[in-house]
Amino acid sequence: MAILYDWLIRGGLAVYPERTVLADIGIDGEKIAEVGIPGSIEGKKVVDADGCYLLPGIIDPHTHPVYLDDLGALAKSAAFGGVTTVIHYAYAKPGASLAEVINEYRGEGESDSCIDFGLHGGLFDTIKPADDIKSLAQRIIISHPAQFGIGNKHLKRGNAQLKSPGNFLSLLDSIKETAVESEINAGV
């Protein structure tokens, strides 16, 4: 006798990176518990997915919630599109602490997001964030590779803090000392 799951998604096309297969999906609580051949799973509630693609676990690694949406609204709209994890940019504007910005976004995400989320630390300034890098590397899990983006429009406007080779080298030294593999996005 098959396990009776909370939900059965019946007869959809489950999409994997290497293949697409006809499948039934059993959901227990909020988690996918089993992916099986059609007819092998039972559920208390049934969704007929005939002719539909099932995309379990879409990750959007590049979102910008700082424009209009808060993290809760962004997560909700992502979930309606089948996305189960978003990785947001948390930008530290000039003079701001990257650690404080990440803590603020993390708190907002933990209280308001209905899906999983991660954070990229984005920099527009190299002075204050260089001081934060070491403490951040010790307190949080950093995605691989960690990305520290430097805002191009600030370079074009001649932001003196970014133009200073000493400030930029200090930032790179801080990243090097943490042994975190990082990506610098500084295209103009």
Give the tens place of pLDDT for each residue, 82-127.
888 888 877 777 777 778 888 888 888 889 989 888 887 776 665 5
Predicted confidence band at 145 (pLDDT cuts at 50, 70, 90)? Answer: very low
User: CB under 8 Å to 59, separation ≥6 — which residues?
Assistant: 83, 84, 85, 86, 87
pTM of the model: 0.60
Predicted confidence band at 62 (pLDDT cuts at 50, 70, 90)? Answer: confident
Q: Is the pLDDT of residue 184 over 90?
A: no
Q: Is the pLDDT of residue 163 over 80?
A: no
Query: Mind listing the domains of the chain with CATH numbers?
Result: 4-54 (2.30.40.10), 58-185 (3.20.20.140)
- Calculate the average pLDDT of the chain: 75
Q: Is the pLDDT of residue 67 over 60?
A: no
Nearest CA among 31, 2, 32, 28 for reference residue 14: 32
Q: What is the pLDDT of residue 171?
A: 64
Written in H, E and C, the secondary structure of 31-70 is EEEEEECCCCCEEEEEEECCCCEECCCEEEEEECCCCCCC
The answer to which of 25-29, 170-174, 177-181 has the lowest mean pLDDT is 177-181
